[in-house]
Structure 1
Amino acid sequence: MKQLWGKALFGVALLVAMVGQAQGQASEESKQEQSVRTAFEQFFPEIELQAVKATVFPDLYELRVGRELLYTNGKAEFVLQGALLESKTRKDLTEESLQEMNKMAIDEFPLDKAIKLVKGDGSRQVVVFEDPNCPFCKRMHKTLDEVSNVTIYSMMMPILSADSRVKAESLWCADDPAAALNDWMLRDKAPAAKTCDHPLDELLALGQQLGIRGTPATYFANGQMISGWLPADKLNPLLDQQ
């Protein structure tokens, strides 16, 4: 019994030591990032940092400001804005970070404020931010019309012109918004002018919050966002990802 008790105590002590070592490493990383934050805020007190994260490169840190990414060194002696590329692989590390930062699950969106279109069993889901006058949004609808078993949540984001706003409101307020959206996007049949209570301002604010600068912006079930039009052979694999 004493031998078993001794082994148990040794195991607890070893576990405590391992946890302590891990916490020490995490704490050290946190101190470094906090030091960068402090240095940056001394130079730019008017800018609110959401996060500071070490990159894979020595003494280079990623700074999150709203939905933007900046880079600096440990003393915040310089600030860079732009794409950080890994030379060997040509990988865009900034785009990777932005994709991760902007991930959003389908059920996190205000789906009640979307125009919902269902094809087949609707088992695959996408959220699309779109302007009704955006030509690439129309191409995206034509591509979506080629695929099966998909639910499309169309979030109206009228940013191109005043007419975009008028059409978006008319589509949302139509007696059958899904049919009206299909008629316009696939057949160029303009919706009848109509007004009602609508969520356009909320959707525009959401798009701005997500950092969406252009349409279409498509979110898939795995949280990934892709900007622009996609052909069916590129779209189908993304729809299958969960």
Structure 2
Amino acid sequence: MTGTCWSVLMRTADLLGLSMRVTLVGVAMLCGSGPVVAEGLPEGAVRATFEAKFPGVTIKQLSPTEIAGWYLVETDGAALEASILYVHESGRYVFSGGLFDLASGRNLTRDYVRRKQQEVLSGLDLSKVILLKPQAEAQREPALRPIVVFDDPDCPFCRKFHPEVKKIVQAGVPVAVVLYPLVRPHPDAYRKSVAIWCAEDRAAMLDHALAGQPVPSPEQPCAHPIDENLKLGHDLHVSSTPSIFLPNGTLVLGHRSAEEILGQVRPNLGLPVGQ
């Protein structure tokens, strides 16, 4: 039964609407009958018990929560918020969904997600992105933290969104484009990403690619960060493009208007709302 434990739990979560992030907490007992282990196990034993019950599921993070006896488990799922589970120290109970502190009105799961995203993005190496800067900052480092956009050169929604990216930059907010080929749906996207990076003018070749124009392979191979970008996206659980990370760590998915993005960014950057 343990071999199907994970799939059963996920189907239960889907039935309860957890994949839709409905504010409902589904509680389930780990597969098996009776207590799995004695209560009060140390963290290492909780990890071992979880991994034994969910073979093939990778634990990326295990940490105690504000609730005594409960641990947050970040798994290797596609979307970060959907990859978080909570497990009791006894190893017997696990639930999937948002954890709320009703006294403070905080969504503790969302708080964790944003902290995690900010932590990963704070180490972003701007030398490995295509940094689109406002005209006034063209010759210097950007004064503001950039919006980070994961782009696939063959993604139709990235192509729709790219003109909006240009409007965001024109409005004074820098954008860091991370070339992130999704090779399963777009087999040629990796080659194109390398070609964009190896181009003499990366921003111009990015424009060319996202306009649906042919992208020639470089005449000479060059060192590129595409594999590192894939790891970065994996750490952030990026599974679709465009994935847009605002400076405060908020993730926005898919094609959005420049005004919608700027409306979320301006207050956090101290910019006038009408700018």
Q: Same fold (TM over 0.5)?
A: yes
User: Residue type matched to 1:202 in 2?
Assistant: E
Q: Which residue of 2 aligns with 1:177?
A: 202
Segments of 5+ residues of structure 2 without an aligned counterpart are 1-39, 53-57, 138-142, 270-275
Q: Secondary structure at the match of 2:191?
A: helix
Two-structure CA RMSD over aligned residues (Å): 3.3
User: Residue type matched to 1:75 in 2?
Assistant: S
Q: Secondary structure at the match of 2:244?
A: strand
Which residue of the other structure, out of 165, 168, 171, is the alignment partner of 2:190?
165
Q: TM-score, normalised by structure 2?
A: 0.62
Q: Which residue of 1 aligns with 2:179?
A: 156
Q: Give the deviation of 1:174 after TM superposition.
A: 1.4
Q: Which structure has greater helix proportion?
A: 1
Q: Give the deviation of 1:177 after TM superposition.
A: 0.9
My pick for the range that moved more, 35-44 or 207-216, is 35-44
Deviations 1:86-124 (A, max 9, x none): 598x98653442222222476521211112222333554
Structure-1 separation of matches of 2:66 and 2:260: 30
Question: Counterparts of 1:18-57 in structure 2 under 5 Å?
Answer: 35=41, 37-44=43-50, 50-55=61-66
My pick for the range that moved more, 113-122 or 36-45, is 36-45
Structure-1 separation of matches of 2:122 and 2:114: 18
My pick for the range that moved more, 105-114 or 169-178, is 105-114
Q: Which residue of 1 aligns with 2:166?
A: 145
- Which structure: larger Rg? 1
Deviations 1:117-140 (A, max 9, x none): 223335542221111111222222
Structure-2 separation of matches of 1:38 and 1:70: 17
* Correspondence 1:192 to 2:207: no
* Correspondence 1:232 to 2:243: no
Which residue of the other structure, out of 132, 148, 164, is the alignment partner of 1:127?
148
Q: Give the deviation of 1:222 after TM superposition.
A: 2.7
User: Residue type matched to 2:173 in 1?
Assistant: V
Change (3 A) 1:106 1:93: closer
Are the equivalent residues in 1 in contact too, given 2:47–2:62 (CA < 8 A)? no
Q: Which residue of 2 aligns with 1:71?
A: 86
Structure-2 separation of matches of 1:76 and 1:70: 13
Q: Give the deviation of 1:237 after TM superposition.
A: 2.9
User: Residue type matched to 1:223 in 2?
Assistant: G
Deviations 1:184-210 (A, max 9, x none): 32x333333225222211111221122
Q: Which residue of 1 aligns with 2:97?
A: 83
Question: Counterparts of 1:91-110 in structure 2 under 5 Å?
Answer: 93-104=108-119, 108-110=123-125
Are the equivalent residues in 2 in contact too, given 1:221–1:239 (CA < 8 A)? yes
* Correspondence 1:218 to 2:239: no
Q: How many residues align?
A: 207
Change (3 A) 1:180 1:41: closer
Change (3 A) 1:105 1:224: farther
Are the equivalent residues in 2 in contact too, given 1:174–1:191 (CA < 8 A)? no
Percent of pairs with identical residues: 24
Are the equivalent residues in 1 in contact too, given 2:159–2:212 (CA < 8 A)? no
User: Residue type matched to 2:74 in 1?
Assistant: R
Which residue of the other structure, out of 220, 227, 232, is the alignment partner of 1:201?
227
